[in-house]
Amino acid sequence: MRVLVFSSEVPTINEVINVKEDDFIIAVDGAFDQLLKQKINIDLVIGDMDSVINKKRLKDYEKIVLNPKKDESDTRFAVRHAYTLSNNVLLIGGIKGDRIEHFIANLYILNEFNNLIIIDENSKIHLVKEGKHLISKGKYINIYAFPECVISLKGFIYELNNYHLKQYDSLILSNEVKNIYGEVIIEDGKAIIIETKKGH
């Protein structure tokens, strides 16, 4: 089973992912209203519900109501809960919006759940560890050390060989795959890869 965790701002879903009948859908707080507008079936609502507008509709849904005074974000709790249901979890949204601090907090969730992918209509964000990772052509590729790594890039416009990428080094910004696939080889450490649609 695949678990889709939706966090504000929720993108236009049919531009991002094909929601399947057997997907388990979790709405995080205010994402509940946005999923209702897009007529997505919701299996569970998680949050302190401070951002929910259609509070009367909540009575029709299974929910986990969190205390507003807590030590983690609603999204982190929801992702953690999702991994009790499945190891195949996608976080959809949680990238844009007025609260940029929430996006930064969502990036840190990647370190806790290494196979988590964060997506919206423009970006795909994931953490990679030691090994070879294939990246398809067609997007801007941006890679940031987490917190540092030794990295090689093959099949890219700008290639690297055993480069020590340190924290805050923005060398790998807006790179591109030359052919069908490029190889990201992590010799040591971890890195965050952000694949961004061109034109954004």
**Tell me: the pLDDT tens digits for 125-156?**
999 999 999 999 999 999 999 999 999 999 99
Q: What is residue 200's predicted lDDT score, i.e. its pLDDT?
A: 55
- The answer to whether 122 and 197 have CB atoms below 8 angstroms apart is yes
Half-sphere exposure of 32 (CA within 13 A, CB side): 28
Q: Give the whole-angstrom CA distance, residue 82 versus residue 2.
A: 9
**Tell me: the pLDDT tens digits for 26-58?**
999 999 999 999 999 999 999 999 888 999 999
Q: Return the number of other C-beta atoms located less than 10 Å from residue 180's C-beta.
A: 10
Quote the DSSP letter at residue 156. B
Q: Give the whole-angstrom CA distance, residue 32 versus residue 122.
A: 21
Domain 126-197: assigned CATH number: 2.60.120.320
Say whether domain 2-121 belongs to CATH 3.40.50.10240: yes
Q: Give the whole-angstrom CA distance, residue 116 versus residue 157.
A: 27
Show me where the domains of the chain are located.
2-121, 126-197
**Tell me: the pLDDT tens digits for 147-194?**
999 999 999 999 999 999 999 999 999 999 999 999 999 999 999 999
Question: Is residue 14 scored above 80 in pLDDT?
Answer: yes
- pTM greater than 0.95: no
